[in-house]
A and B are shown apart, each in its own frame.
Chain A
């Protein structure tokens, strides 16, 4: 299990949080309970199984929603 933090460009609308949360949770390999979207810090934090998905997949899903990823960080848990 790995732990990832993705920094996004400043989030402004509260429904963004819902969208990003849903998009992240719907990916196989992402630990659903761990997904946290920090509205004010504009960050997404989650745990994932490196064999099933990667941080790039999540970044892609978030970018597809129209949000800009600034940087991401992955750590072993």
Chain B
């Protein structure tokens, strides 16, 4: 491309402005002062100036054998010019240039959400050079195995492992969780996270696009440009559409010998709104999701998810926190602190999940020296502390220890069991002292979120779990689910989903992405509650960052709004072309300028319509 061509293209905005001034000048002198010469000249100059950048683009397109919209407009403008209709040629070029300018501006807005994300990517790193000194380098120059220094306030440049130093890192860019996480030697750190205090030396494990953050960005970028079936059709269609319009105009001219009509057809046939409408909705919808911790993998996903009627949930880690806690407790002693001290001392020796829950519940307490411990398989632990025999375990262990259970204790045990608790009883010297009910608690707010899903039109909310039916039923009742199935192995879950799909349901599966990847892959829509883990990102269609369940209703509402937005844009685009086509043949007010005005306006309308999605909130 010659220097002149490039110069003209780079000054497109100036040219647009000069065109506008010349057109105004032309009309004032023509209509206001009856000075035809000035009017003609200014409009003619505006036409030539304005068509220059369009013609260059058209020429470049023809060189690679593409009949682009620029070609149509250039031919139309030249036609009008030769007919000495300078008014039309000037206005059409101006509208086309000005429209392109506005498109650029508004498109940047629709892309802004994703831009915010990519701008969080680290740019530089302090790398240890061969002489042992750390020097600032571009992040592209960091290789795996390099040793890097991260100072307070800096972004971690790569995924790596801490070699030395301590500090707290804000991992919000990866997990969405803004509470800083403590890091010390051998801790993993992630690119894009921020060191809030301390200094770390790390070794790079993964760099650039291979880091978790890099993969998230790549995923979102690919998603926003992924094409649905309908879009691929439009793409193919537009490839033949523009040449067809050109052909149609030529045929019209040959038959009617009406150049005016032929060039009006050229302008009117420009496919702008149709081609841009769907991608604009797509990018705005996915951008909104990225901003709210919902990663949607492409427009196909948006289409499917918006029509979902059944959502199947994994229980542990999805509906529940996946971390058992002491939920109910009863004491049968006056010296509660003493009992707790014994209990904590015994349990802190074990790494059983129930023991962990108890230790966590008791918290800071003076631990006693445990003299001897015997593990009773499937029942609990018997230990000696200060010469006392302390037994911690289930009801079977208490029977083995000949512990007398009072009527109240029996009632408590029955009550705790009914609420879905696992029971831990503590006896000291053969007397029952404490009863604790431990259960995996449902995530806070899940009930309300499920209600929102129902309101959005989801008919069936199903929970599947490997736990016993009683526990699962309880969760289902507590949360207001429509169905609950227990005793399910991972294979059973995917079979169940297959069954639903064969009945014609559109099924989404929500899981933690660890042991239920078959179900995630099989469902129409696999939704992973992953804190940005690799597995979750790879296997699912939708990722809820930071395992935040409350983002699920937002995700569903958003895909519905986005799908509707795409339909609106297609209707607007097709409608405009149909109306224009009809009016060119049936009315006498249609001309090239009006056609261009309507055409550009329709493009802006679909972009503005798409932009509404950026502000979508449930």
Contacts and interface: CB of A to CB of B under 8 A. Distances in A.
Contacts of A64: 1, 60
A10 B9 CA distance: 15
A14 B279 contact: yes
29 contacts: A10-B108, A10-B111, A12-B103, A12-B107, A13-B69, A13-B103, A14-B238, A14-B275, A14-B276, A14-B279, A15-B69, A15-B275, A18-B61, A18-B238, A19-B61, A22-B65, A23-B64, A36-B225, A38-B221, A39-B225, A39-B279, A40-B111, A40-B282, A40-B283, A41-B224, A63-B1, A65-B61, A66-B9, A66-B57
B159 interface: no
B399 interface: no
Interface in B218-264: 221-222, 224-225, 238-239, 242
Interface string B276-295: 10010011000000000000
Interface in A25-53: 26, 36, 38-41, 43
Interface of A: 10, 12-15, 18-19, 22-23, 26, 36, 38-41, 43, 63-66, 73
A53 to B, nearest CB: 16
Nearest to B274: A14
Name B's interface SS: helix
B70 interface: yes
A14 B606 CA distance: 14
B350 interface: no
B9 to A, nearest CB: 5
Given A15-B242, A41-B224, A66-B57, 6 more contacts: A14-B238, A14-B276, A14-B279, A19-B68, A23-B64, A66-B5
A26 B64 CA distance: 8
A15 B56 contact: no
A65 B225 contact: no
Nearest to B287: A40
B6 A66 contact: yes
B64 A19 contact: yes
Contact of B225 (A15, A23, A40): A40
A39 to B, nearest CB: 6
B277 to A, nearest CB: 10
A73 to B, nearest CB: 7
Nearest to B239: A18
A43 B282 CA distance: 17
